[in-house]
Structure 1
Amino acid sequence: MDSSDSSLDLTAKLENPKAIVARRTSPVRGSRYPPIGPPSVIGAEEVAVWRKKYELPDDVVIRVPDPEDRVSDFGVDEVPFYEGYFTSGFRDRIPSLVAKISETLGISPGQLNPPAWRTLIALQNLGDLNGLVIGVAEVLYSYSVSLLSGTEWRYHLRPRGKEPLVREILKKERKRLPAFEGNWTEKFAFMHLPGFSSIWRLEGRLVVGIKKII
């Protein structure tokens, strides 16, 4: 699934189109909150594999995390991302539903876990193919946005009914997928995507339907 055609205009033209790995332009450090999540285990070799495997354009600017970087250490105009985003169809632009849900919550798109991206991209493609208008209201009618981890402030989509609009990946199936091998929360890098929040927000603006998973 390729979601680039129907993405929001929040992803403006990238600066330095020949850049392969970018340095942090303006780190989000000095927050009153402690660093969130484990350090990244992704290096230049893994990023190179992602570029080849998912045919990422050369003008997509990806910054390889420093050894001490946490997922909350992204800079201005950067979004933390995981390989699971690519397996769902993400390439060089944030899918519109992912962007709209993130804006509504007031969080970084990187706070949505990979299965949430998969569901939102599938819903967006379903709407595009059938001429349906699927926005935040339609998503929240069928799903609640639930807190996946209170210590790392990640979110996922929980179906409100017994029959979700998009087939969920069962936990036992996820373990067999390359994107979820080992601890996926440690396998992240940073992509330069202008226009998105430079803050890993601990509280979203949308409070209805957000529940902590016990």
Structure 2
Amino acid sequence: MDLSLASTPAEPMTGLAGWAVGLIDSLGGPGAAIIVGLDNLFPPIPSELVLPLAGFSASRGAFTLLGALFWTTLGSLAGAVIVYGIGALLGRDRTRALVARVPLLRVGDFDRTEAWFARHGGKAVFLGRMVPIFRSLISLPAGVERMPPGRFLLLTTAGSLLWNTAFVVAGYLLGESWSLVDRYASVLQYVVLAAVAIAIGLFVVVRLRQRRPAAR
């Protein structure tokens, strides 16, 4: 990727991007944390947009790159904890009813996330931080099933930090051309999904091989 694009003059930001940059300029790191936290609470706000913006703001001196990573990961964790708490408080049936009322979400999204969590537990929480929709919803079944809080926090922090670093650093390097990150976001997400599919396939193969000697 040609990083010289960072010097290309940018048009004035409007809409969500303009609001996000304005909030970060006003509040600094806490503003970035709030925006990323909202991505967990309101899935229509895409992290593929707000994370590169945090990197872009860091490149302009709003905070350091390490500061951007710290605040965005803190925001991800805070949003995930809130969603976890909602799941733990409401239980499965009322959580499904709540999801049905959220714009742009379907109950089927929650059902698929819950099924994934039931099969893979901790791996689902870690990898779910890097998958669209699942990223915002995976904390719900973790709360419903009362996953141990310490384990949930550790896996959520690790997955969020890995995902956030990729997008924040890209936005930092690209500067005013941060929006180019969006072109490659879907590619990265497909890579994550492919890795998940391969990991699941290997797990199934290993388990089947382990069962054959026992059956004999």
- Could you state the TM-score of these two structures normalised by the residue count of structure 1? 0.25
Q: Which has the larger radius of gyration?
A: 2
- Of structures 1 and 2, the one scoring higher in RCO (CA 8 A, sep 6+) is 1
Query: Which structure has the highest strand share of the two?
Result: 1
- Could you state the TM-score of these two structures normalised by the residue count of structure 2? 0.25
Query: Which structure has the highest helix share of the two?
Result: 2
